[in-house]
């Protein structure tokens, strides 16, 4: 059901060969909004610009229709701000239908904002079949999957899922609008201004579902490939006329489960603290042969240290490090080592959270984005990254620092916090998924317990914040000592 009422005129209605007096029936039922005439008023309903907040006005029958899709607002004139949900990778919203739903036409729209290249936006799921209409981020694009599984119904064998892709580089932390329209076998995906259309192959056209899920897919019995959890923000999820996020928030439906948080929240997912420069861990090999999308957040007071390193066949490797407070991305795909330096207005060892995104597309263009500033470089020659062995996080094993590739500067580990680690769509739990751990590594991020204050250093000494404490730089004074209290002889 599209939940769209009919607007217009009807006459000459016959049911089972018998004429029905619609006017008499309407008057007997005292139906609201029904008139015993058929007059279309002249003039254009949109001339008064009734739609607010960039809503698009469309001419209706004796009325205007405001399309609020993509505005972040709703209501008849797009005046009410739509609610926003924040997801940190462990959060979801699930609408459990009171009855099993069967549809042959769907209108779906939503807005999202994320810095991750992978993650579930929305999916219908069934307890009894593989039926689904699913939207997800896949490599920075939106992927639509429609699977009409007719195992339990008298029809030809299932043709498997149909897929469409639209948009690119959508993990830019900007708002994007997604629309899906399906009518039987015809379906269309629109992401902002990018449109993709398809025609379904099988004879089956009915979609069955019990749930509408966002953020995490909890109904997994018939799903062969589980999409990554979503980290970011969702707004204006509308499915066949029902604005589900706002309905859940206002308590207008009784069958809504969620632990996602309303409002725009700062998202720091699964933070871990590396207490010393000797602390590190290893994970399974980074799978980034043809393309790569990495993301992480870091917070530290130390200007230098290894963050990510994975070696490979031949000279192939990837390294991400902090050098004098700035992010360096070093790699070799077989053409010799290359270095991309992150651009930022100041050193990043300021005890604040910073975002790092690294991508490599099929054309071998490498992009390093630090917070809001991106730097790109296209590389000729070999395009594939053939890695092997462990992926090291926050440091290296004994003896490895002496044999590092050219252009890698770090000779010690990283001290500070890491969070929201995304390895090509894999969201590891750094502690539980570690193959090996060394040193003090703790869940959470409390930061320095002792911080610089105005009186930390005497006699105009300069306080330098470190992770566990601080030191005083007395070099520009005539004093020495831990707090610049001792006069030089």
**What is the structure's pLDDT at 465?**
74
Distance in angstroms (rounded) separating the CA atoms of residues 429 and 142: 25
Q: How far is CA 102 from CA 122, 159, 354, in A?
A: 18, 19, 45
CATH architecture of 272-443: Sandwich (2.60)
**What is the structure's pLDDT at 202?**
76
DSSP 387: B
Distance in angstroms (rounded) separating the CA atoms of residues 433 and 135: 27
DSSP string, 310-365: EEBSTT-EEEEEEETTEEEEEEESSS--EEEEPP-SS-S-SSS-EEEEEEE-TT-E
Exposure string over 75-91, b if 16+ CB within 10 A, otherwise e: eebbeeebbbbbbbbeb
CA nearest neighbour of 121 among 112, 129, 132:
112
Tens digit of pLDDT at every position of the chain (489 positions): 667 777 788 888 888 888 888 878 877 887 677 777 787 776 688 888 899 999 999 888 878 889 999 899 999 999 999 999 999 999 999 999 999 999 999 999 999 999 999 999 999 999 988 899 999 999 999 999 999 876 555 555 556 689 999 999 999 999 999 999 999 999 999 999 999 999 988 778 899 999 999 999 999 888 878 899 999 999 999 999 999 999 999 888 888 999 999 999 888 999 999 999 999 999 999 999 999 999 999 999 999 999 999 999 889 999 999 999 999 999 999 989 999 999 999 999 999 999 999 999 988 999 999 998 999 999 888 889 999 999 999 999 888 998 899 899 999 999 999 999 999 989 999 999 999 999 999 999 987 766 778 888 999 888 887 777 788 989 989 889 889 998 887
**What is the structure's pLDDT at 161?**
84
Q: Is 222 helix (H, G, I), strand (E, B) or coil?
A: coil
Residues 418, 394 contacting (CB under 8 angstroms): yes
Distance in angstroms (rounded) separating the CA atoms of residues 18 and 27: 19
Two domains, one topology: 13-80 and 82-262: no
User: Which CATH number does 82-262 carry?
Assistant: 2.60.120.200
Residues 415, 305 contacting (CB under 8 angstroms): yes
**What is the structure's pLDDT at 152?**
55
DSSP string, 100-169: EEEESEEEEEEEEE-S-S-EEEEEEE-SSS--EEEEEEETTEEEEEEE---TTSSSSPP---EEEEE-SS
Predicted structure pTM score: 0.78
CATH architecture of 13-80: Ribbon (2.10)
The correct CATH number of 448-489 out of 1.10.1040.10, 3.40.50.2000, 2.10.25.10, 3.40.640.10 is: 2.10.25.10
Helix (H) or strand (E) holding 248: helix 244-249
Residues 6 or more apart whose Cβ sits within 8 Å of residue 188: 179, 180, 181, 182, 195, 196, 197, 198
Delimit the domains of the chain by residue range: 13-80, 82-262, 272-443, 448-489
Q: How far is CA 460 from the centre of its chain?
A: 47
DSSP string, 410-452: --SB--EEEEEEEETTB---TTTT-SEEES-EEES----SS--
Exposure string over 358-370, b if 16+ CB within 10 A, otherwise e: bbbbeebebbbbb
**What is the structure's pLDDT at 319?**
96
Q: How far is CA 469 from CA 118, 262, 451, 460, in A?
A: 38, 36, 6, 19
Distance in angstroms (rounded) separating the CA atoms of residues 110 and 131: 21
**What is the structure's pLDDT at 374?**
93
Residues 306, 393 contacting (CB under 8 angstroms): no
Query: How many alpha carbons lie under 13 Å from residue 447 in its C-beta half-sphere?
Result: 13
């Amino acid at each position: 059901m599209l939940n769209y009422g009919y607007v217009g005129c009807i006459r000459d209605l016959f049911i089972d060969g018998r004429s029905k007096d619609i006017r008499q029936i309407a008057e007997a039922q005292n139906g609201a909004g029904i008139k015993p005439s058929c007059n279309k008023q002249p003039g254009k309903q949109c001339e008064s610009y009734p739609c607010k907040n960039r809503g698009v006005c469309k001419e209706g029958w004796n009325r205007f229709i405001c399309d609020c899709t993509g505005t972040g607002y709703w209501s008849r004139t797009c005046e009410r701000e739509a609610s926003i949900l924040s997801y940190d990778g462990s959060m979801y919203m699930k609408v459990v239908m009171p009855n099993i739903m069967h549809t042959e036409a769907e209108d779906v729209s939503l807005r999202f904002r994320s810095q991750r290249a992978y993650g579930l936006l929305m999916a219908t799921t069934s307890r009894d079949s593989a039926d689904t209409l699913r939207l997800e981020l896949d490599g920075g694009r939106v992927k639509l999957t429609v699977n009409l599984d007719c195992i339990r119904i008298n029809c030809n064998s299932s043709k498997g899922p149909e897929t469409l892709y639209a948009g690119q580089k959508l993990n830019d932390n900007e708002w994007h609008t997604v629309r899906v329209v399906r009518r039987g076998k015809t379906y269309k995906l629109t992401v902002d201004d990018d449109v993709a259309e398809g025609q379904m192959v099988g004879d089956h056209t009915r979609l069955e579902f019990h749930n509408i899920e966002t953020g995490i897919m909890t109904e997994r019995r018939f799903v062969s490939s589980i999409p990554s959890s979503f980290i970011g923000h969702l707004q204006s999820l509308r499915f066949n006329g029902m604005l589900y996020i706002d309905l859940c928030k206002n308590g207008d439906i009784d069958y809504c489960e969620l632990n996602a948080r309303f409002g725009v929240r700062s998202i720091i997912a699964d933070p871990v603290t590396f207490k010393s420069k000797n602390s590190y861990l290893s994970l399974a090999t980074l799978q980034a042969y043809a393309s790569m999308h990495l993301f992480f957040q870091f917070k530290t007071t130390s200007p230098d240290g290894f963050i990510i390193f994975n070696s490979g066949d031949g000279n192939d490797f990837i390294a991400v490090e902090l050098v004098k407070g700035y992010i360096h991305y070093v790699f070799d795909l077989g053409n010799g080592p290359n270095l991309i330096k992150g651009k930022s207005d100041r050193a990043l060892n300021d005890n604040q959270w910073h975002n790092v995104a690294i991508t490599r597309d099929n054309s071998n263009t490498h992009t390093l984005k630090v917070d809001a500033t991106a730097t790109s470089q296209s590389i000729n020659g070999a395009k594939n990254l053939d890695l092997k062995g462990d992926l090291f996080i926050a440091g290296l094993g004994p003896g490895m620092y002496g044999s590092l590739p050219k252009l890698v500067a770090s000779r010690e580990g990283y001290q500070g916090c890491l969070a929201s680690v995304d390895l090509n769509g894999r969201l590891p739990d750094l502690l539980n998924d570690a193959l090996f751990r060394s040193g003090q590594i703790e869940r959470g991020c409390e930061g320095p317990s002792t911080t610089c204050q105005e009186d930390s250093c005497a006699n105009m000494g300069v306080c330098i914040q470190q992770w566990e404490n601080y030191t005083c730089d007395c070099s520009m004074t005539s004093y020495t000592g831990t707090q610049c209290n001792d006069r030089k002889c």
